[in-house]
Amino acid sequence: MNWTAAGDYTDIRYELSDDGIAKITIDRPEVRNAFRPETVIELSDAFDKAREDTNVGVIILTGEGDKAFCSGGDQRVRGESGYRVGGTAAVGRFHVTDLQVQIRRTPKPVVAMVRGFAIGGGHVLHVICDLTIAADNARFGQTGPRVGSWDGGFGASVLRDLVGTKKAKEIWLLCRQYDAQEALEMGLVNAVVPLAEVEETTVQWCREMLALSPFALRLVKSSFNAQEDGYAGIQQLAHDTNLLLYGSDEAREGRTAFLEKRQPDFSRFPRRP
């Protein structure tokens, strides 16, 4: 697979295929692709690029090298009020919370391609992606209680939906690690393939989605979020569905009548049972 660089970043790489796939890679292998605020800010920018690019239909999120997808937040820049940009800010914040929401709100499928460790905050990132393809060397787990941290948001709720309440509590309360086959058996990943084949398989899955209706895929993703995210999820689904209405003759009549300063004539449109 040939990838073309499409952005200038320090902590990540943003690349495009010639058939509509964007690949976003956390490029900090020296710390097992742990993210610092700068990393997350760059990830957010890349996801924006992928969303706005009408040639992109599917997004891959991965980590550089074979040893780690992402090992979570870089503890070296963690302060008492969050993670600090440049490691020096007096008050930190959790940039990754906004990124998690952004990944879920991105109206294109996001596929996690996991090699090696997906641990802590990195584990949450793969959990909130729409699909996960794991190499056979992948390892999954949470570390929050080991380092005085936790994730009571998507890291708990979506994980519970994937593997069940008891298993999700086990993952968080014991901080154990699970290999790729165990992850597959508990429903945490979609497929496990040999390490040498993980990108080929991920691209194959992406191409299968590229052959499908992009608007239908958008609504499928919104539909799951509507159930999981309450009012915010319903809002997302409603706005996505409204885009369909905007493109109809019925909506066009309402807009045109307003611009022409006349009463709209909706009589020719069916009142569907």
What is residue 152's predicted lDDT score, i.e. its pLDDT?
Answer: 78
What is residue 117's predicted lDDT score, i.e. its pLDDT?
Answer: 98
Instruction: Name the band, by pLDDT with cuts 50, 70 and 90, for residue 171.
Output: very high
> Which residue, chain included where needed, has tokens 């993703």?
221
Total Cβ atoms within 10 A of residue 252:
12
Q: Comparing C-alpha atoms, which of 122, 123, 125, 95 is closest to residue 110?
A: 125
Instruction: Name the band, by pLDDT with cuts 50, 70 and 90, for residue 90.
Output: low
Question: Averaged over 76-94, what is the pLDDT?
Answer: 54
The two structure tokens encoding residue 163: 């593997």
Instruction: Name the band, by pLDDT with cuts 50, 70 and 90, for residue 55.
Output: very high
31-46 residues labelled b (16+ CB within 10 A) or e (exposed): ebbbbbbbbbbbbbeb
Residue type, 261: K
Facing residues of 139 across strands? 117, 179
What is residue 75's predicted lDDT score, i.e. its pLDDT?
Answer: 64
> Which residue, chain included where needed, has tokens 């209706």?
213
Contact 116, 32 (CB under 8 A): yes
Q: Comparing C-alpha atoms, which of 33, 215, 195, 25 is closest to residue 109?
A: 215
Facing residues of 5 across strands? 15
The two structure tokens encoding residue 149: 């941290």
> Which residue, chain included where needed, has tokens 């993670």?
83
| pLDDT tens sequence across 207-260 | 999 999 999 999 999 999 998 888 888 999 999 999 888 889 999 999 999 999
Tell me: pLDDT of 190 over 60. Answer: yes
Instruction: Name the band, by pLDDT with cuts 50, 70 and 90, for residue 272.
Output: confident
d(CA 142, CA 119): 6
What is the Cα Rg of the chain in Å?
21
